[in-house]
Amino acid sequence: MPAFTVCMIVRNEEKNVRKCLRSLSPLQSEIVVVDTGSGDRTVSYAKEFTDKVFSFSWINDFSAARNFAASKASNPWILAVDCDEFLVEAHLPRLQTAMEERADQIGMITRISPYTDFLGNSGVMHEFVGRLYDQRLYHYEGKIHENVTSIHKEFSLSSPLPPASESSPNDPKQKYFEIPLTFYHGGYQEKGLREKKAERDLSMLQDTLAQNGPDAYTYFQMGKCYVVLNNHALAAHYFELGLATKDLRPSLAFVQEMVESYGYCLLELKQYQKALQLQNVYDDFAKRADFCFLMGLIYMNNAMFQRALFEFEKATKMKDYSIEGTNTYSAWYNMGVIYEVLRERETALSYYRKCGSYSPARKRLDAMQ
């Protein structure tokens, strides 16, 4: 297998760094840790796992720090890992094959993150994130929410696009491939920490907007920050700006997420009729369970129950999803709620039972029996 180096940038991560580095042991790879100014025990903990620990003066540029870390690697291949990500599954023989066959492309890890829906129900979200790359071909760009980008600008927006299955989640000019590495993303679980990070990110995103002008991806990230800050009106505003950007490609992962996030913001704001406008882009986005599930919720909140049932049923037949449950128990639960409203008790019970241990469904079963 082509050798690769794990590269991490850290700051005040003493709570996570040991757990993260310990989880990486199955990879048997070189590890480079770059500290950007910790005031806790992060550096000393990192040195327990690697002698390649370096300091980097923080200049409000995540890509600069990531590229500095890559420059300290002994190998051309780089696997970028965040300190709040923990390896839970790895298949090295398949990884070797993938790296040999896709040597000029970017490898995507699978990342599983905790998720709370707009009703407060907890679940998990699955996403692909580009992290494995050959630094002779790629580097990081973007001061914040940085992306792996080709060093050689051989592509242009007018170039023929690769097949959808191979295109980058956020950039149609590049090719990605899935790699058999799965990480659990702990993220910032404490509300105060999440909000502090969102405020920091907003400041950097506003600077990016001022320097580079209107950009759909920047608007998308600003909207996500306002969701964390529980300001759904401003979040919806920035999602609208992002969706109004010229030449937006529905095939890009961030565009799909932006449309769905916008819909959930409108539901949070109880702007149910306005949310029906997403019918206008249905054909572009109804290709995975998440969007069909969202449309089911929108129809449901507009008392359009038959349409809602159709969308939830359609979602259960789809394999492609990000948020766990949108094609199984969450869809069945909402179908149960609709049948209960329609006073079709036995049908409602049958759908609640299909949900297994899903707590909202168990509560309805207990109440009805």
pLDDT in tens, 272-315: 999 999 999 999 999 999 999 999 999 999 999 999 999 999 99
Tell me how many helices (H) and strands (E) the chain has. 15, 10
> Which tens digit of pLDDT belongs to each residue from 99-124?
999 999 999 999 999 887 777 778 89
**Which structural domains are found in the chain, ordered by start?**
4-185 (3.90.550), 191-368 (1.25.40.10)
Q: Are 254 and 220 in contact (CB under 8 A)?
A: yes
Give 2's DSSP letter. Answer: -
- Nearest 5°: the CA angle 91, 320, 227 is 100
Measured distance CA(260)–CA(256) in Å, rounded: 6
Residues 20, 21, 23, 24: is their CA dihedral positive or negative? positive
Enter the pTM of the model. 0.86
> Which tens digit of pLDDT belongs to each residue from 18-74?
999 999 999 999 999 999 999 999 999 999 999 999 999 999 999 999 999 999 999
User: Alpha carbon of 352 to those of 116, 326, 333: distances in Å?
Assistant: 20, 15, 6
> Which tens digit of pLDDT belongs to each residue from 135-152?
999 999 999 989 999 997
Look up tokens 């572009």; give the residue. 284
Measured distance CA(46)–CA(205) in Å, rounded: 30
Neighbouring-strand partners of residue 33: 8, 53
Measured distance CA(292)–CA(327) in Å, rounded: 9
Phi and psi at residue 178, to the nearest 5°: -80, 140
> Which tens digit of pLDDT belongs to each residue from 316-341?
999 999 999 999 999 999 999 999 99
Measured distance CA(319)–CA(126) in Å, rounded: 12
Give 322's DSSP letter. Answer: S
